[in-house]
């Protein structure tokens, strides 16, 4: 496999306002996505974040250090063309939401789930107009059809950039409700991430710390927090 990386060829990156939003230009040359689409961005804040990433590159361009650029590319090249499919896939989490399946034992874990997860479900009932019902065990029990449709409509209402971020908020947390909770500032993103890992953290308490698992969790946490920042600058 080639380890070739494109070289930095520009002096500076700048935000450019265009008819339908903003873009980024490198010495006057407008940036395009990997699929050669125009990099049309919805907000100045997003364009500035991307321009800063390009300016931070040194001799070679390293995409792993450019999360905002990668997220914008995903929104334009992928999500924008598959909006309905992506929205439906994420909305489907509502019928099997992490927060709704509770441990059968021990009591201490059951109590912790109730203390951390019930407030999120209560928030969703008030803020989203959707009350999901929790149950003990892992056997699937369908949620109310109208409730699920309410959540589905909210997901479909997101624009492509919001939806790209929302994809990671939901898939990384395993919960449609926690994805909305992060996007809509129910609590601090770090706290919501912690809530999503309740079961994992319980297992660590029982069986001890694993360095490899911890490293993987930190990578996911960083991605979750980035997704929240990207969502915030998408509107």
pLDDT digits (tens, 9 = 90+) for 171-193: 999 999 999 999 999 999 999 99
Give the SS3 label for residue 135.
strand
125-133: Cβ within 8 A, 24+ apart: 127/180, 127/184, 127/186, 128/154, 128/177, 128/180, 130/94, 132/94, 132/97, 132/99, 132/100, 132/177, 133/100
Averaged pLDDT, 24-31: 95
Lowest mean pLDDT among 20-34, 180-194, 201-215: 201-215
Task: Give pLDDT, residue 121.
Answer: 98
Q: For residue range 89-137, what is the model confidence (pLDDT) as tens digits?
A: 999 999 999 999 999 999 999 999 999 999 999 999 999 999 999 999 9
Residue 196 pLDDT exceeds 90: yes
Q: In this predicted structure, what is the pLDDT of residue 5?
A: 66
Averaged pLDDT score across all residues of the chain? 95
7 confidence band (pLDDT: 50, 70, 90): confident
Cα 225 from Cα 120, distance rounded (Å): 18
| Nearest residue to 166 (alpha-carbon basis) of 212, 229, 115 | 229
Mean pLDDT of 206-215: 89
Contact 39, 49 (CB under 8 A): no
Contacts of 194-202 with C-beta under 8 Å, sequence gap 24+, read 195/116, 195/117, 195/120, 196/98, 196/172, 198/112, 198/113, 198/116, 198/117, 199/103, 199/109, 202/109, 202/112
Cα–Cα distance for residue pair 213/204, rounded to 1 Å: 10
Give the model's confidence band at 4: pLDDT under 50 very low, under 70 low, under 90 confident, else very high: very low
What is the per-residue pLDDT for 3? 54
pLDDT at residue 192, rounded to an integer: 98
| pLDDT (average), residues 144-173 | 98
Q: Which domains, and CATH codes, for the chain?
A: 13-67 (3.30.2180.10), 81-232 (1.10.3580.10)
Range 160-176 average pLDDT: 98
Q: Report residue 134: phi and psi, to 5°.
A: -90, 155
């Amino acid at each position: 496999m080639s380890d070739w990386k494109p070289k930095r060829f520009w002096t500076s990156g700048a935000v450019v306002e265009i008819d339908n939003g903003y873009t980024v230009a490198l010495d006057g040359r407008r940036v395009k996505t990997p699929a050669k689409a125009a990099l049309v961005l919805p907000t100045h804040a997003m364009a500035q974040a991307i321009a800063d990433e390009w300016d931070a590159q040194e001799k070679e361009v390293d995409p792993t250090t450019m999360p905002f650029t990668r997220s914008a590319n995903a929104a334009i090249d992928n999500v924008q063309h598959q909006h309905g499919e992506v929205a439906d896939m994420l909305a489907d989490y509502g019928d099997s939401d992490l927060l709704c399946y509770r441990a059968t034992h021990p009591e201490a874990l059951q109590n912790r789930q109730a203390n951390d997860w019930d407030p999120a479900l209560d928030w969703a009932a008030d803020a989203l107009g959707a009350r999901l019902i929790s149950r003990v065990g892992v056997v699937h029990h369908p949620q109310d059809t109208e409730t699920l449709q309410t959540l589905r409509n909210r997901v479909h209402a997101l624009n492509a950039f919001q939806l790209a971020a929302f994809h990671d908020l939901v898939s990384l947390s395993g919960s449609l409700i926690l994805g909305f909770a992060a996007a809509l500032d129910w609590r601090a993103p770090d706290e919501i991430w912690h809530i999503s890992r309740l079961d994992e953290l319980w297992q660590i308490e029982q069986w001890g710390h694993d360095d490899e698992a911890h490293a993987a969790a930190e990578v996911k946490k960083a991605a979750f927090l980035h997704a929240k920042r990207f969502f915030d600058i998408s509107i």
